[in-house]
Structure 1
């Protein structure tokens, strides 16, 4: 009788798990990776395409793909675009990259999404606050990383350091991908203002034509937790 009751409870537990969303059912997640793409007015349409296609190619790179699929524990991925104070838009909700089909689905969703905005300023503090909220909706993972790309510095609203002080960034690492060409101050700004947390780093792209290479290297480092050129202890 006890055994029958235990079996019934186990069956109910399985049913309950199948009714939960994927994020809630995630087990053994090693990394929640949130990618933030710059769509402010400094990014023209051709640069936007290079950014979007570069990200898709980086996620499909063989070394990156192996790092995602063959590592110990799964990777959860989400992507959003950002520009002005209230112009942050989710492109890809949290998805557990448990197999190649899930990864291909994520890449397809990213490529199919239209550009959300194109005429607003650079409100990076607001964008990071939005990202902190998205991370709170992520599945439980061993590490939480926000990966912010951009070609300029904050020119609207509060700065990144204020976001870190007032939003839930405990245990969160923020890495940067600074794109040269629009603002010569961008690399120093990303290193001094944007990078946050233990092991945080900034990758540099020599223009949007170089975005694919820089993003591929950046993802590889993040997925393999490589502490190279650390900015702060």
Structure 2
């Protein structure tokens, strides 16, 4: 309980100096993309291409235009054991194909590199704070997290999730299962039990490289439209998962010092 309260206070710190909202949008969407070391170069390239293609797809643009205001605010960052501020792409408005293509171009131009550690809790906390700096007012606030493994660095994931959802933030997940590890079982069940949260939250699994762009587009359309996701993509009724499995699989990991994670 104290951990959850501390995280909640951390997420709300600085809210009093947040930017004043000046424009209404249907959703404020944060894309939090995994670049941890367990993502090999092929997976990282497929993931990047999937986001670029999905953002440029006419179905995504149509979903944006069909909203009440016809526009969304979107931002992006990459995470591993820690988060580098230079991976952050600040808030942009998307209201049509030109805006969507321009944002996709920013992602496409970024170098692809992976880093050590997997801190989903850190990604949630970082993403939650971005809403304080948003100059937009969304009817919904969503953090969209992609990842290919359980939390194994930093704070436990469930208190971070609970602190964010207490602020009215929805957390959805994309469970990357292209090269699944038998050590931690079904990653979509882990995401369902431990990561996602908020009204209508869902997780989509990706099991084949060729399914990546379709899954990302499908997820973005659901998030933009606010539509109820089909039952088959909601894993709330999945198998129970140990939300500390990542930490348990790395004995001594939390006590050792990894200076490269701090760079």
In the superposition, the TM-score normalised over structure 1's length comes to 0.82
Counterpart in the other structure of 2:53? 57
Structure 1 runs not aligned, ≥5 long: 1-22
Does the CA contact (< 8 Å) of 1:174 and 1:195 recur in 2?
yes
Does the CA contact (< 8 Å) of 1:88 and 1:130 recur in 2?
no
Q: Distance in 1 between matches of 2:162 and 2:203?
A: 20
Q: Deviations over 1:103-161 (max 9, x none)?
A: 1110100110113x513111110111111111222221110001101111011122221
SS across alignment from 1:140: strand
The answer to whether residue 77 in structure 2 is matched with residue 77 in structure 1 is: no
SS across alignment from 2:62: helix
Counterpart in the other structure of 2:255? none
Does the CA contact (< 8 Å) of 2:165 and 2:197 recur in 1?
no
Does the CA contact (< 8 Å) of 2:39 and 2:114 recur in 1?
yes
CA RMSD of aligned residues (A): 2.1
Q: Shift of the alpha carbon at 1:85?
A: 3.2
Q: Distance in 2 between matches of 1:107 and 1:195?
A: 25
Counterpart in the other structure of 1:90? 87
Does the CA contact (< 8 Å) of 2:175 and 2:188 recur in 1?
yes
Q: Distance in 2 between matches of 1:155 and 1:222?
A: 27
Q: Shift of the alpha carbon at 1:219?
A: 1.0
The answer to whether residue 44 in structure 2 is matched with residue 48 in structure 1 is: yes
Report how many aligned residue pairs link the two structures.
209
Counterpart in the other structure of 1:182? 180
Counterpart in the other structure of 1:101? 98
Structure 2 runs not aligned, ≥5 long: 1-18, 237-263
Q: Distance in 1 between matches of 2:161 and 2:176?
A: 22
Does the CA contact (< 8 Å) of 2:34 and 2:78 recur in 1?
yes
Counterpart in the other structure of 1:20? none
In the superposition, the TM-score normalised over structure 2's length comes to 0.73
Does the CA contact (< 8 Å) of 1:69 and 1:100 recur in 2?
no
